[in-house]
Amino acid sequence: MAEIILNHVKKIYDKSVVAVQDFCMEIRDQEFIVLVGPSGCGKSTTLRMIAGLEEISAGEISIGGKVVNRVPPKDRDIAMVFQDYALYPHMTVYDNIAYGLKLRKFPRRVIDQKVREAAAILDITDLLKRKPKALSGGQRQRVAIGRAIVRSPKVFLMDEPLSNLDAKLRNQMRTEIIKLRQRIKTTFVYVTHDQTEAMTLGDRIVIMKEGFVQQIGTPRQVFHDPNNLFVAGFIGTPQMNFFEAQLCREGERYHLELNGRRLEIAPEKQRRLLQYNVQSQSVTAGIRPEYVLLTDAAGFTGQVEVTEMMGSNTHLHLRFGEDEVVVLVPDGDEPVREFSLGETVHFTFHAERIHLFSRETGHNLEHDPREALTTSAQPPEVPSEPEAQAVAEAEAPVAPAATPEPEAAPETDAAPEPETPQESAPTP
């Protein structure tokens, strides 16, 4: 059993930088947890504290029922794969995978069996005799994972293991990790800043911002029931639409006033607002582009500013008073509807999919106000599609297969402690 419990875990660097604030979570045995959030939010720090590579400033971490605050990394039965994994260039794939086991003096027969098993799981059996420089980026990545798998760790920690790969390889490897996960029965904690990766891999996702956990939930929960404005804006592409609106309470009934129109609120939402005794107030209303519905004549009107053809659907950007609203229009049956610039279209919002956030705190008004965080008043800035593309390209500028393998061989004799998680990423 390797459940991981983080109990009010905190990390302060240099007595002043609070990297992680009061992290509380119970990770179940064999669960796949993804930590996600913008750069600097404390993901790696959390992972490194679980690994034992970073001391904990306050709180307690236990793994498999045992408090590990003072347990050195090598005794935590953990394997870690980093973003900047490096393979030993002078060794074959086989030897790279076998290396940690050899250092630990496993019998040759056992090593051989473990290496071949791992290679089969990762589909790299044909590559065992090759040197790393004769591999593609994705294949190298699999070797790095193989090196961690053979140790049969209780817990598998991965810190942005795919971020050096180009978009296509990253998608492929993501599928590989899902398959891997089905074959090895281990608890995973996986760090990424990519929300798609988080949504597709995680049993549960932890969304972090500035050291604070913003929400912990299944992909469906964080998508459909975000705890606050930050989570609402961070999860999902295209980003959720946000509008300034007025929540009006009359007795026990609520409705919304938006752009001079009255909007009804779904009964289930009314019930939750009433439960927390929410009063009339200015709110930020949110609705995902998937749930803005085009109508023939009824509802709001907007003018087409931009249309983006995405393949099976179109992203329609409409001018809506002071705001812009993005509508995701699925291509239905032929003939597909075409939109022209400046055209007026009518739309409504799917009433069950409207979210109401406090203008003051950003907290979801359907959630318990005692759980409101104060750092979430703003949704994240999400780059527009072309910018996002540019960012993605800048992140992975080189085709992985062409990435030069580090020249210098790591000092084999002075290799890191065989069982430390660092072993997974020997620094050349």
Ligand X SMILES: Nc1ncnc2c1ncn2[C@@H]1O[C@H](COP(=O)(O)OP(=O)(O)OP(=O)(O)O)[C@@H](O)[C@H]1O
The nearest distance, CB 63 to Mg ion, in angstroms, is 21
> Which of 13, 129, 185, 282 contacts ligand X by CB under 6 A?
13
Q: Across the beta sheet with 78-81, what order do the strands follow?
A: 78-81, 155-159, 187-192, 32-36, 204-209, 212-217
- What does 13 bind: ligand X, Mg ion, none (CB cut-off 5 to 8 Å by kind)? ligand X
How far is the C-alpha of 104 from the C-alpha of 343, rounded, in Å? 70
Q: Does 428 bind ligand X (CB under 6 A)?
A: no
Binding pattern for the stretch 170-199 against ligand X, x by CB under 6 A and - elsewhere: -----------------------x------
CB nearer ligand X, residue 94 or residue 156? 156
Residue with tokens 């794939």: 93
- What does 153 bind: ligand X, Mg ion, none (CB cut-off 5 to 8 Å by kind)? none
CA torsion 411→413→414→416, rounded to 10°?
90
CB nearer ligand X, residue 83 or residue 136? 83
The nearest distance, CB 181 to ligand X, in angstroms, is 22
How far is the C-alpha of 404 from the C-alpha of 138, rounded, in Å? 14
CB nearer ligand X, residue 128 or residue 231? 231
Number of residues that bind Mg ion (CB under 5 A): 1
The nearest distance, CB 61 to ligand X, in angstroms, is 15
> Which of 4, 9, 19, 283 contacts ligand X by CB under 6 A?
19
**Three-class HEC string of the chain:** CCCEEEEEEEEEECCCEEEEEEEEEEECCCCEEEEECCCCCCHHHHHHHHHCCCCCCEEEEEECCEECCCCCHHHCCEEEECCCCCCCCCCCHHHHHHHHHHHCCCCHHHHHHHHHHHHHHHCCHHHCCCCHHHCCHHHHHHHHHHHHHCCCCCEEEEECCCCCCCHHHHHHHHHHHHHHHHHCCCEEEEEECCHHHHHHHCCEEEEEECCEEEEEECHHHHHHCCCEHHHHHHCCCCCCEEEEEEEEEECCEEEEEECCEEEECCHHHHHHHHHCCCCCEEEEEEECHHHEEEECCCCEEEEEEEEEECCCEEEEEEEECCEEEEEEEECCCCCCCCCCCCCEEEEEECHHHCEEEECCCCEECCCCHHHCCCCCCCCCCCCCHHHHHHHHHHHCCCCHHHCCCCCCCCCCCCCCCCCCHHHHCCCC
Among the candidate windows 36-44, 86-94, 127-135, 238-246, which touches Mg ion by CB under 5 A? 36-44
CB nearer ligand X, residue 13 or residue 276? 13
- What does 406 bind: ligand X, Mg ion, none (CB cut-off 5 to 8 Å by kind)? none
Number of residues that bind ligand X (CB under 6 A): 13
The nearest distance, CB 192 to ligand X, in angstroms, is 8
Question: What sign has the CA pseudo-torsion 2, 3, 8, 9?
Answer: positive
The nearest distance, CB 222 to Mg ion, in angstroms, is 20
Going by C-alpha positions, the residue among 283, 277, 253 that lies closest to residue 266 is: 253
CB nearer ligand X, residue 191 or residue 273? 191
Kind of pairing, strands 32-36 and 187-192? parallel
Q: Does 44 bind Mg ion (CB under 5 A)?
A: yes
> Which of 17, 24, 336, 399 contacts ligand X by CB under 6 A?
17
CB nearer ligand X, residue 41 or residue 97? 41
- What does 42 bind: Mg ion, ligand X, none (CB cut-off 5 to 8 Å by kind)? ligand X
The nearest distance, CB 149 to ligand X, in angstroms, is 23
Map the footprint of Mg ion across residues 202-221, applying CB under 5 A: none
Among the candidate windows 43-51, 65-73, 305-313, 362-370, which touches Mg ion by CB under 5 A? 43-51
Map the footprint of ligand X across residues 36-95, applying CB under 6 A: 37, 39-45
> Which of 14, 322, 334, 413 contacts ligand X by CB under 6 A?
14
The nearest distance, CB 383 to Mg ion, in angstroms, is 19
Q: Does 340 bind ligand X (CB under 6 A)?
A: no
The nearest distance, CB 31 to ligand X, in angstroms, is 20
CB nearer ligand X, residue 210 or residue 419? 210
Binding positions for ligand X, rule: CB under 6 A:
13-14, 17, 19, 37, 39-45, 193
Binding positions for Mg ion, rule: CB under 5 A:
44
